[in-house]
Amino acid sequence: MNLINKETNTCPSVIHANGNSKKQDITIWDTLVSSFRNTNPIPNKLDQSLSIITLKGGRYKNDKTILEETCEKYGIALKILPWPDNNNFWEASKAKNYELLNAIDKGDITTKYIMPLDCTDVILLKHPNDILSDYLRIFPNTGSVWNGETNDWPRFNLPKYVHHPILDSYLKKVSDRDVEISRTSKSKFVFLNSGASIGLTDKLRTFYKTSLDLYARVKTNDQAMARTSQYILSEEHTIDIHCKIFQCLYGTNKGQFEVNHE
């Protein structure tokens, strides 16, 4: 089974129903999930150089998520890091950065590569070993590659956005750059989304630490942090703007895709 993005003429394998796209009938998400649940991929051990990482907690603590279902289908282990159970919005928003950084520094993650994924809205249409091979082939000599979306978020006019001079300055520069990339590349999937990526563990450690150090006392979220880190470290970390591996569904509709069940 694969998904064809008819706009980019690519077959992305990591599908992320970011934002409210998994709740919208206009997107392909429900069709993909239903079709995937009817597949029977041959289980295969995860490459020893790769770890699949997610965070889970809060209202999903006792639920089996779609990412867990996916990993079970492929017969692979999923490393689950804790998501804060309290109601502190800003602590929860930064959890991805400090929990991943902590796990790497403590030696809980020792593989050469990691694939950090959101747990409630990501499915893999290929075995992660094949996704790793695609990453190394399509994006050689990069520290990591991130999924790109159509939504330039977060924005200054959001109700929960808290202005800070450093944050405002970086997000303005990031947004201006990405809008220009969209214009020149003819792609609308240019805005980094923090919910799915793959890369070298040591390079991603630097990636997470860069924005965590910068925004340690700033009220912001993992999306703004990831976009800032990628902007600062753009020579090593890139965005999959043509959906060669990753596909964000926010801002898309069913007509943009074709599902091949072979």
The ranges assigned to domains in the chain are 2-260
The fold of 2-260 is: Spore Coat Polysaccharide Biosynthesis Protein SpsA; Chain A (3.90.550)
* 41 and 74 Cβ atoms separated by less than 8 Å: yes
Tens digit of pLDDT per residue, the chain (262 long)? 899 999 999 999 999 999 889 888 889 999 999 999 999 999 999 999 999 999 998 888 899 999 999 999 999 999 999 988 766 777 778 888 999 999 999 999 999 999 999 999 999 999 999 999 999 999 999 999 999 999 999 989 888 899 999 999 999 999 999 999 999 999 999 999 999 999 999 999 999 999 999 999 999 999 999 999 999 999 999 999 999 999 999 999 999 999 988 6
Residue in 20, 246, 222, 8 with CA at minimum distance from that of residue 148: 246
Give the whole-angstrom CA distance, residue 98 versus residue 91.
10
Give the whole-angstrom CA distance, residue 252 versus residue 188.
10
Tokens at 27, concatenated: 């997107």
Give the whole-angstrom CA distance, residue 236 versus residue 258.
32
